[in-house]
Amino acid sequence: DTGVSQDPRHKITKRGQNVTFRCDPISEHNRLYWYRQTLGQGPEFLTYFQNEAQLEKSRLLSDRFSAERPKGSFSTLEIQRTEQGDSAMYLCASSLTGDEQYFGPGTRLTVT
């Protein structure tokens, strides 16, 4: 039984570049979530998918951010024209029922 996996685990990029992260949920989990966590804070919700449909987006998800889940399995989160304020841990979670959410190890983004 494998958990949620995320790739890459760490990404360093220069300001203005685009980055893309991938999340593979627990198999058979049809719900997938993206959160962002900065140092000393709890995770903050970004967006939610049920199967391939993106059903909820936070106001934190500016127009530079886009997320997809094309076949209802893995998901990608892209950040265009990165800014230093985007530096954070990006966490993916999945759930079967929508109640208990299981998190991956996260992708740590550093924008220089």
Partner 1 sequence: QKEVEQDPGPLSVPEGAIVSLNCTYSNSAFQYFMWYRQYSRKGPELLMYTYSSGNKEDGRFTAQVDKSSKYISLFIRDSQPSDSATYLCAMKLTGGGNKLTFGTGTQLKVEL
Query: Binding mask 21-60 vs partner 1 (x if CB under 8 A, - otherwise)?
Result: ----------x-x-x----xxxxxx--x------xx-x--
Q: Are 10 and 69 in contact (CB under 8 A)?
A: no
Q: Provide the CA 2 distance to its chain's centre, in angstroms.
A: 18
Rank residues 35 and 65 by Cβ distance to partner 1 and give the closer one. 35
CB of 69 to partner 1, least distance (A): 14
Residue 63, judged by CB atoms within 10 A of its CB (0-12, 13-18, 19+), counts as exposed
> Tokens 């979670």 correspond to what residue?
93
101 binds partner 1 (CB under 8 A): yes
For residue 30, the SS3 value is coil
Residue 103 in contact with partner 1, rule: CB under 8 A: yes
Residues of this chain that bind partner 1 (CB under 8 A): 4, 6, 31, 33, 35, 40-45, 48, 55-56, 58, 91, 98-106, 108
